Structure 1
Amino acid sequence: MSYEINTIVLCFDFSEKSVNALRMGIQIALRHDAKIIIYNAINTQYVIDRTGRQIVGSTTLQDNYDKTGRAINNLKVQLKASHPKLKLAVRISQTNLMDGLNELIATEKADLVLCGSSGEQNFMQTLLGSVSYQILTESVCSVIMVPEFCGKYTFEHILVPVRVSEELTDKILVSVAIAEKNDAVISLLGVSSENDRYEIGRAYLEAKKILHTKEQNYECRYILSENSAEQISKASEDNDTDIIILNYKDENQWKSFFAENFFKKVIKTTETPLFFYKPAKNTTKISKSQIVESDITLSLQG
Structure 2
Amino acid sequence: MIGRIKNILFPTDFSDIANNAMRFAVAIAKRQQAKLHIFHAVIPEYLPVVGDVSLGVVYDGYEEVEKMNSKKLKNLAISLAATNHLKVESHTKIGNVAESIDQLAKELQIDLIVMGTHGTSNMREFFIGSNAYSTVKNSHCPVLTIPANSTSTDFSTVLFPVRNVKGVDEKYLSIINILKANRSKVLLLGVAHFNDFDSFDFISDKVNQLSLKMHEDGIEVKNRNQYCENIANFILDYTYATKPDLLVINANIDTDWKRYFLGSFAQRIVNNAPCPVLNIKPQ
- TM-score interval (norm. to shorter): 0.7 to 0.9
What is the deviation of 1:21?
0.9
What is the deviation of 1:108?
1.1
Q: What is the aligned partner in structure 1 of residue 139 from structure 2? A: 139
What is the deviation of 1:206?
2.3
Q: Measured at CA, do residues 257 and 245 of structure 1 come closer, stay the same or move farther in structure 2, by a change above 3 Å?
A: closer
Partner AA of 1:78 in structure 2: S
TM-score (normalizing by structure 2): 0.84
Contact persistence 2:3–2:174 (CA under 8 A): yes
Gaps of 5+ in 1: 281-302
TM-score (normalizing by structure 1): 0.80
Partner AA of 2:74 in structure 1: N
Q: What is the aligned partner in structure 1 of residue 90 from structure 2? A: 90
Q: Measured at CA, do residues 278 and 257 of structure 1 come closer, stay the same or move farther in structure 2, by a change above 3 Å?
A: closer
Mapping 1:64-83, distance limit 5 Å: 64-83=65-84
Mapping 1:24-35, distance limit 5 Å: 24-35=24-35
Aligned counterparts of 1:64 and 1:55: Cα–Cα separation in 2: 17
Partner AA of 2:252 in structure 1: K
Give CA deviations for 1:252-272 in whole Å, capped at 9, x if unaligned.
67436755xx55542xxx2x0
Partner AA of 1:56 in structure 2: V
Contact persistence 2:11–2:40 (CA under 8 A): yes
Q: What is the aligned partner in structure 1 of residue 224 from structure 2? A: 221
What is the deviation of 1:213?
2.6
Aligned counterparts of 2:186 and 2:152: Cα–Cα separation in 1: 17
Q: Measured at CA, do residues 164 and 4 of structure 1 come closer, stay the same or move farther in structure 2, by a change above 3 Å?
A: farther
Moved more, 95-104 or 158-167: 95-104
Q: What is the aligned partner in structure 2 of residue 255 from structure 1? A: 264
Aligned counterparts of 2:266 and 2:6: Cα–Cα separation in 1: 31
The structure with higher relative contact order (CA 8 Å, sep 6+) is 1
Aligned counterparts of 2:64 and 2:227: Cα–Cα separation in 1: 58
What is the deviation of 1:193?
1.2
SS of the aligned residue for 2:234 comes to helix
SS of the aligned residue for 1:249 comes to coil
What is the deviation of 1:228?
1.6
Partner AA of 2:194 in structure 1: E
Partner AA of 2:245 in structure 1: D
Give CA deviations for 1:74-99 in whole Å, capped at 9, x if unaligned.
21121122112x12111100122233
Contact persistence 1:165–1:200 (CA under 8 A): no
SS of the aligned residue for 1:63 comes to helix
Aligned counterparts of 1:156 and 1:164: Cα–Cα separation in 2: 26
Q: What is the aligned partner in structure 1 of residue 42 from structure 2? A: 42
Q: What is the aligned partner in structure 2 of residue 11 from structure 1? A: 11
State yes or no: 1:158 paired with 2:158: yes
Partner AA of 2:264 in structure 1: K
What is the deviation of 1:231?
1.9
Aligned counterparts of 1:274 and 1:98: Cα–Cα separation in 2: 18
Give CA deviations for 1:246-299 in whole Å, capped at 9, x if unaligned.
00127667436755xx55542xxx2x001001245xxxxxxxxxxxxxxxxxxx
Aligned counterparts of 1:143 and 1:204: Cα–Cα separation in 2: 27
What is the Cα-based RMSD across aligned positions, in Å?
Answer: 2.7
Contact persistence 1:228–1:257 (CA under 8 A): no
SS of the aligned residue for 1:141 comes to coil
Mapping 1:165-176, distance limit 5 Å: 165-176=165-176
What is the deviation of 1:54?
9.4
Q: What is the aligned partner in structure 2 of residue 274 from structure 1? A: 277
Contact persistence 2:145–2:270 (CA under 8 A): no
Q: What is the aligned partner in structure 1 of residue 191 from structure 2? A: 191
SS of the aligned residue for 1:109 comes to coil
Q: Measured at CA, do residues 258 and 79 of structure 1 come closer, stay the same or move farther in structure 2, by a change above 3 Å?
A: closer
Q: Measured at CA, do residues 200 and 166 of structure 1 come closer, stay the same or move farther in structure 2, by a change above 3 Å?
A: farther
Contact persistence 2:211–2:223 (CA under 8 A): no
Aligned counterparts of 2:182 and 2:32: Cα–Cα separation in 1: 10
Q: What is the aligned partner in structure 1 of residue 59 from structure 2? A: 57
Aligned counterparts of 1:76 and 1:273: Cα–Cα separation in 2: 23
Aligned counterparts of 2:226 and 2:99: Cα–Cα separation in 1: 41
